[in-house]
Structure 1
Amino acid sequence: MKQLPNILTLSNLFCGALAIICILHAPEYRAEINGTDYTVITPEPIYWASVLVVLAGVFDFFDGMVARLLGVSGPMGKELDSLADVVTFGVVPGMMLYRLLKSAYYQSPDVFEVSIINLAPALLVPCFAAYRLAKFNIDTRQSESFIGVPTPAVALLVASFPLIVLFNPFNLAHWLQNIWVLYIIIAALCYLMIAEIPMISLKFKNKSLADNWPRFLLIALTLLSIPVLKFAAVPFIFVVYVLLSIIVPPKVTPKS
């Protein structure tokens, strides 16, 4: 039983590795549209990658909880968790943004002039995620709250993008097929992961409404927005999470 938290963490990593395979497996083919040749990406494998990120998020949520319940928390589990997270919540969203950028460029008339340099900014996401996770491991201020947006929140946000492109709620797919919007999203996510901004954690230390009302509000808005906004609820909740953390910043325990 004491290895159960590590098994959950490795399940997170397994999902992340499988998600990368799905993203890389998305085939490209030539198609003629209105007399013009286009390169088209078959998107279905990327949608499965989004599902795998959500499943990995579930494993990531429960591994720490199970470790605390079993009383087996330790440095080994903490390091293993970060190693898994850098793949699932760093490399995977970077790969997703890479494919989204590539798909956006394929719609431009000068598609054949696009180089790898145009797509490389997407790979900044795993770099900043790795930096954020390394910082988290040595930052004693982050025992009860976060400093900077946690990588699972970033990954879940990016994982919603392929599904938004597929189902197109509120015509948001148009924005996610714009290269400049994607560049802005990449820059914003990289900054938020390492910013010195106290962020709300969903760890409840007590049942006091006065102490936990931002958490209750965030959970309530999440439950209310999902049936109304569908997949667009994920970006909405992400923005609410960041704004709520800025407006009502959690207390940060000073470094010892």
Structure 2
Amino acid sequence: MRQLPNIITLCNLFCGALAIICVLHAPEFRVEFNGNEYTVTNPEPVYWASALVVLAAIFDFFDGLVARLLKVQSPMGKELDSLADVVTFGVVPGMMLYRLLRSAYYQMPDAFEVSMVNVAPALLVPCFAAYRLAKFNLDTRQSENFIGVPTPAVGLLVASFPMILLYNPYNLAHWLQNIWVLYGIIAVLCYLMVAEIPMLSLKVKEKSLKANWTRLLLVVLVLVSMPFLNYATVPFIFICYVILSLAVPPKVTPA
């Protein structure tokens, strides 16, 4: 039973590694339309990658919970959790944004002249995620809440993008095919992960309503918005999470 939390963490890592395979193995083929050739990506494997990130987030939630319940928390478990998270919630979102950038460039007239330099900024996400996780392991101020947006939140946000492209709620797919919007998203996410901004943790340590009303508000917003926003609920809740953390800064342990 002592190794059960670590096994759950490895399930997180397994999902992340499998999601990378799904993203990178999404086959591309050329089609001809009005005398012009276009490269099209079969999106189905990327949708599976989104589902795997969600499943990994569930494992990521339960590994720590099980460790606390069994009272088997350990430095190794903490390090293993960060190693899994950098893959699942760092590398996978980076690969998804890489695919989205390529797809956005394919919509442009000079698509076949696009350099690797144009899509390389997507790889900044795993770099900043790794920095954020290393910092988290050494930062004693983040025992109760976070400083900077946690990587699972970033991973779930980016994992929602392929589903938004598929179902196109409120015509958001149009914006995710704009290279400058994607560059902006990459820059904002990288900044938020390492910013010295206290961010709310969803861990419940006190049972009073006063201590947990912000968490309860987020849950209510999820339940209310899902029927109306569909997959756009994820970016909506992400934005609400950041705004709520800025408006009502959670307590962090002094350095």
TM-score, with length taken from structure 1: 0.99
Runs of 4+ in 1 over 3 A off after TM superposition: none
The answer for unaligned runs of 5 or more in structure 2 is none
User: What's the secondary structure of 1:174's corresponding residue?
Assistant: helix
What SS does the aligned partner of 2:37 have?
Answer: strand
Q: Which residue of 1 aligns with 2:112?
A: 112
Q: Secondary structure at the match of 1:30?
A: strand
Look up the match of 2:150: 150
One-letter identity of the residue aligned with 1:209: L
Secondary structure in structure 2 of the residue aligned to 1:26: coil
Amino acid at match of 2:158: V
- What are the residue-to-residue correspondences of 1:171-250 with 2, within 5 Å? 171-250=171-250
Matched, 1:35 2:27: no
**Deviation, structure 1 residue 135:** 0.2
Q: Deviations over 1:170-227 (max 9, x none)?
A: 1100000000000000000000000000000011121211121111101110111112
Deviation at 1:34, TM superposition (A): 2.2
- Structure 2 counterpart of 1:163, one-letter code: M
Aligned to 1:86: 86
Residue 31 of structure 2 aligns to a residue whose secondary structure is: strand
Q: Match of 1:254?
A: 254
Correspondence for 2:71: 71
User: Which amino acid in structure 1 is aligned with residue 124 of structure 2?
Assistant: L
Letter in 1 for 2:75: P
Whole-angstrom CA distance in 1 between matches of 2:230 and 2:53:
17
Query: CA separation in 2, counterparts of 1:34 and 1:193?
Result: 44
- What displacement does 1:249 show? 0.4
Cα distance, 1:16 vs. partner? 0.2
Which digits, 9 at most, give the CA deviation of each residue in 1:35-54, with x for residues without a partner? 21101111100000000000
Question: CA separation in 2, counterparts of 1:182 and 1:43?
Answer: 18
C-alpha distance in structure 1 between counterparts of 2:75 and 2:34, whole Å: 59
Count of aligned pairs between the two proteins: 255
CA distance in 2 between partners of 1:226 and 1:198 (Å): 27
Separation of aligned partners in 2, 1:23 and 1:210:
43
TM-score using structure 2 length: 0.99
- Partner Cα distance (2:226, 2:206) in 1: 27
Q: Choose 219-228 or 7-16, whichever is displaced more.
A: 219-228
Counterpart residue type for residue 15 of structure 1 = C
Deviations 1:78-115 (A, max 9, x none): 00000000000000000000000000000100001100
- SS of 1:210 mapped into structure 2: helix
**Structure 1 gap segments, 5+ residues each:** none
- Secondary structure, aligned partner of 2:176: helix
Matches within 5 A, 1:113-152: 113-152=113-152
The one-letter code sitting in structure 1 at the alignment partner of 2:7 is I
